[in-house]
Amino acid sequence: MAGSTRLGPRSNIIAAHAVAPLPHHWPWRASDATVYSAVIFDFDGVIADSEVRANRTLAESLTAIGLPTTYEECLRDYCGHNWQETERRIVVRLGRPLPHDFRERHRERAQKRFAEGFAPVPGAPEFLESLGCLPRAIASSSSPAYIAASLDRFGLARHFGHHVYSADGWARGKPHPDIYLAAANGLGIDPAACLAIEDSPTGARAALAAGMTVIGFCGGGHILDRAAHGDVLRGVGVHHVAHGYDEVLLHA
């Protein structure tokens, strides 16, 4: 997600609840053989179908300060980065410091747009149900408060307990591996035994640098040409590409 709601301190505050029964229609079950010990998810574009709103909002905010920017340019240049890196890139392009009220005005614009409502990525709730007791975590460049509120909105907070990691709490965000290494460490699992699901080249590079198997995910609403985006992710080095959760395989 391109910086629209990633403003806030690092926190792991999502409450844990019991996992609901497995849906009978899902193609993979926790009892199936799997080569992975954990699944680590990016959030925006992988669990929350939020990237369209986020990047349209950022484009509006940048245009408003005299840096005309399109939605497509935001997806290309900022998607997957934490807010600090997003701001750094904006300043380079703008050629001067950001207005003192830019962050607050952008926050207000983002809150208004996200208040209109958004949904999980299609298939994400069912896939999470299918994992059974397999450990899982979120490794995201968004703020913990935004992630917590979104998971509560979707009824998915129970799937992650306190294993929600935000790059805002680390010295280096994606594409550095720190956030993925922190998630694996928090789960107590070797990164090499983890499967990461990422939609952005920036995030995919982070998970690959952590030594994980990476699925390049093309199921979010912001990806209009899934075949082309899959090719971009393959170029980064992902191990597999999935155009939706029905193509995410956890077993041999």
Active-site residues: which are they?
A: 42, 44
| Dihedral sign of CA atoms 22, 28, 33, 37 in order | negative
CA distances for 26 relative to 74, 120, 131, 243, 246, angstroms: 34, 17, 10, 16, 8
Rg, C-alpha atoms of the chain: 17
CA distances for 138 relative to 16, 103, 195, 207, angstroms: 14, 25, 12, 12
The verdict on whether omega for the bond into residue 27 sits within 30 degrees of 0, i.e. cis, is no
Strand partners of residue 40? 137, 196
User: Any idea of the CA torsion for 229, 233, 236, 239, to the nearest 10 degrees?
Assistant: -160
Strand partners of residue 241? 216
Retrieve residue 235's tokens: 């170029």
CA distances for 174 relative to 45, 126, 141, 205, angstroms: 15, 27, 7, 8
